[in-house]
Amino acid sequence: FYDTHGEYPGIARAVAAEYKVPLIDMHRASETVIKNYGAEDSKKLFLILKAGAHPNYPNGLDDNTHFSPSGAEEMARLAVAGI
């Protein structure tokens, strides 16, 4: 898990606590999922494609930010669980 969000998740948690409003902490929840998958298997959650694997990305894609369809489903499950 490589955190690129800096101080922002902590600020969101602090604001939610201060105003006593619910917060679905997707940052912590997704971190847990990604760590549980492990370094190699977590690649399945992201848009990491070999050349020729998808017609929209003939040269492949190495995107560790945006989720693959299965990664998006995992994140949607976390959001639903939080609700």
Give φ, ψ of 62 to 5 degrees.
Answer: -130, 80
Model pLDDT, residue 4: 86
Q: How far is CA 45 from CA 13, 15, 19, in A?
A: 25, 29, 33
In this predicted structure, the answer to whether residue 2 has a pLDDT above a threshold of 90 is: no
Structure tokens belonging to residue 51: 């050349």
Give the pLDDT of residue 58.
95
DSSP-derived secondary structure letter, 72: H
Q: What is the mean pLDDT of residues 42-47?
A: 95
Coil/strand/helix, residue 18:
helix
The burial of 67, by beta-carbon neighbours within 10 Å (0-12 exposed, 13-18 middle, 19 or more buried), is given as: middle
Q: Does pLDDT of 1 surpass 90? A: no
Average pLDDT over residues 40-66: 94
pLDDT at 68: 95
